[in-house]
């Protein structure tokens, strides 16, 4: 079945089927040769600063282009992950492994519902896990995880968490933190892909347009916003192209929010994907957004938040009230400063540095079985 699906595709970012060997067992599918192998292995081998940021952006652009093509052809991949993307000698990425792919052209809602089988939980959208409904929007969620894999140079999503913990934390609002040195614009695009409402996620056409603009004008990756089709595209919300959702930055701009608007702490945390932190802060006596401004980095860490959550809160506060000086923004004690495990080569400007859980998480070896570790029956 995989070969019959692959044979329908002709796109530079989708793997090309050469033929099928059926004369002898085992039956084999022959595809074009990809010198650099799978994307996850390639990234782990090149976690040494050799790859430049724009090469990373171009790789992501290629994956988005391939997924846009598949979506327009009426297919849902269902297993988009770095391990299922192949890389040629020119660093061109091609989507492969169509074992779980299904056509949805005959479905009114363009969705595919499955009744059984394994699901790669760490890459799968919540609605696909819960209701087994797969759509282009669930593939977009997976693309967000692939973006995270690429920017973290092959780290395992959610590290050594169990599948049940991954599902539980995502349901509570947890989202993967920004990998070290990743521009905030890229992490915010990931967050848009992980919107809990599938109808509010960007489409692959929208994602591709954003990444293409970054390829054409690299300086825009670090700007406050870019202009496309006479519309400002926020690096935080990417609020353009009609139905593309807006997040904190765009919403704040539109409503002219300020501390005096009495935005509740719970609402503030939910908007930035940290709703699960509300209980810890409430137990520490933090009940308003204004309370956060008076707290330093170390204060928030002492309340049980991890470094990435603290950084996300502080970044959001800077956008909410840019004229306010946050306490101890750059005064983190020396013993708590972690060296970056990897970094993008400098291009144009120094990337935005964020504290990263990656520095304290053990690197997962590629020998871990995908079938045993990354999939389970639900």
Is residue 251 in a domain? no
pLDDT of residue 223: 64
User: Residue 242 pLDDT > 60, yes or no?
Assistant: no
Task: Indicate whether 158 and 67 sit together in one domain.
Answer: yes
**Confidence grade of residue 120 (pLDDT, cut at 50, 70, 90):** very high
User: What is the pLDDT, as a whole number, of residue 113?
Assistant: 47
Give the active site residues.
79
CB 189 within 8 A of CB 210: yes
Q: Chain-centre distance of CA 45, in angstroms?
A: 21
- Average pLDDT on 115-137 reads 89
Q: Is 18's pLDDT higher than 70?
A: yes
**Do 141 and 50 sit in the same domain of this protein?**
yes
Domain finish residue from 222, 252, 285: 222
* Within a domain: 117: yes
Sequence-separated (6 or more) residues with CB below 8 Å from residue 268:
289, 316, 320
User: Same structural domain for residues 62 and 211?
Assistant: yes
246 in any annotated domain: no
Residues 6+ apart with CB under 8 A from 214: 57, 61, 185, 220, 221
Return the CATH number at 103: 1.10.510.10
pLDDT score recorded for residue 262: 56
68 Cβ contact list (under 8 Å, min separation 6): 203, 204, 205, 207, 208
pLDDT of residue 62: 98
For residue 284, the enclosing domain spans: 262-319
Is 233 within the bounds of a domain? no
Q: Determine, yes or no, domain membership for 249.
A: no
**Contact between 153 and 47 (Cβ < 8 Å):** yes
DSSP string, 20-62: EE-SSSSPEEEE---TT-BHHHHHHHTTTTTSBHHHHHHHHHH
In this structure, the answer to whether residues 279 and 139 fall within a common structural domain is no
Give the number of other CB atoms < 10 A from CB of residue 167: 19
In a domain, 215, yes or no: yes
Residues 166 and 109 in one domain: yes
Domain assignment present for residue 21? The answer is no
**86, 189: one domain:** yes
Same domain, yes or no: 274 and 147: no
Residues 203 and 266 in one domain: no
Does 55 share its domain with 193?
Answer: yes
Same domain, 217 and 266: no
Please state at what angle helix 136-151 crosses helix 204-216, rounded to 10 degrees. Answer: 30
Alpha-carbon span 165 to 144, nearest angstrom: 19
Total structural domains in the chain? 2
> Is there a domain that residue 336 lies in?
no
The mean per-residue pLDDT over the stretch 171-186 comes to 90
Helix (H/G/I), strand (E/B), else coil: 316 = helix
Query: Taking a C-beta distance cutoff of 8 angstroms, is the pair 351, 340 a contact?
Result: no
For 102, the enclosing helix (H) or strand (E) is: strand 102-103
Give the torsion sign (CA, 121, 125, 128, 130): positive
Retrieve residue 166's tokens: 């991954």
pLDDT at position 284 over 50: yes
Q: How many other CB atoms are there within 10 angstroms of residue 154's CB atom?
A: 22
In which residue are the tokens 């940021």 written? 53
> Which range has the worst mean pLDDT, 4-18, 248-262, 318-332, 350-364?
350-364
| Domain limit, last residue, from 206, 222, 238 | 222
The answer on 182 and 50 residing in a single domain is yes
Q: How far apart are CA 63 and CA 57, in angstroms?
A: 10
Q: Provide mean pLDDT across the span 299-327.
A: 74
In angstroms, the Cα distances linking 103 to 72, 121, 136, 165, 374 are: 11, 21, 11, 31, 24
Cα 165–chain centre separation: 18
Structural element, H or E, at residue 103: strand 102-103
Task: Name the pLDDT band for 305 (thresholds 50, 70, 90).
Answer: confident
Q: What average pLDDT does range 71-82 have in this prediction?
A: 94
* Domain co-membership, 271 together with 216: no
Phi-psi label, residue 35: left if phi above 0, alpha if psi -120 to 50, beta otherwise: alpha
Single out the residue in 277, 295, 319 at which a domain terminates: 319
CATH number of the domain within which 269 lies:
1.10.150.50
């Amino acid at each position: 079945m995989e070969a019959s699906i692959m044979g329908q595709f002709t796109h530079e970012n989708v793997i090309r089927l050469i033929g099928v060997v059926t004369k002898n067992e085992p039956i084999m599918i022959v595809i074009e040769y990809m010198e650099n192998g799978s994307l996850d292995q390639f990234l782990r081998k090149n976690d040494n600063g050799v790859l430049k940021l724009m090469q990373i952006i171009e790789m992501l652009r290629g994956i988005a282009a391939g997924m846009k093509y598949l979506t327009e052809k009426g297919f849902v991949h269902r297993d988009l992950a770095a391990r299922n993307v192949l890389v040629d000698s020119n660093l061109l990425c091609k989507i492969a492994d169509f074992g779980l792919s299904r056509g949805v052209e005959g479905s009114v809602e363009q969705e595919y519902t499955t009744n059984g089988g394994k699901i790669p939980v760490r890459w799968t959208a919540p609605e696909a896990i819960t209701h087994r409904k797969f759509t282009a929007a669930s593939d977009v969620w997976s693309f967000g995880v692939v973006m995270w894999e690429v920017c973290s140079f092959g780290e395992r999503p959610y590290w050594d968490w169990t599948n049940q913990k991954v599902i539980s934390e995502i349901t509570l609002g947890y989202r993967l933190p920004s990998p070290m040195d990743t521009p905030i614009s890229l992490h915010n695009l990931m967050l848009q892909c992980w919107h809990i409402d599938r109808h509010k996620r960007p489409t692959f056409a929208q994602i591709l347009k954003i990444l293409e603009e970054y390829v054409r004008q690299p300086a825009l990756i670090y700007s406050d916003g870019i202009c496309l089709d006479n519309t400002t595209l926020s690096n935080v919300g990417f609020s353009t192209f009609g139905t593309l959702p807006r997040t904190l930055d765009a919403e704040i701009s539109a409503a002219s929010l300020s501390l005096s608007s009495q935005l509740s702490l719970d609402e503030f945390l939910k908007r930035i994907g940290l709703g699960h932190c509300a209980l810890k802060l409430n137990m520490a006596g933090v009940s308003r957004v204004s309370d956060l401004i008076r707290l330093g980095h170390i204060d928030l860490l002492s309340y049980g938040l991890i470094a990435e959550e603290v950084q996300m809160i502080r970044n959001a506060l800077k956008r909410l009230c840019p004229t306010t000086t946050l306490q101890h923004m750059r005064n983190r004690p020396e013993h708590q400063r972690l060296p970056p495990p990897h970094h993008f080569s400098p291009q144009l400007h120094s990337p935005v540095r964020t504290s990263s859980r990656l520095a304290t998480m053990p690197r997962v070896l590629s020998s871990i079985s995908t079938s045993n570790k990354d999939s389970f029956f639900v």
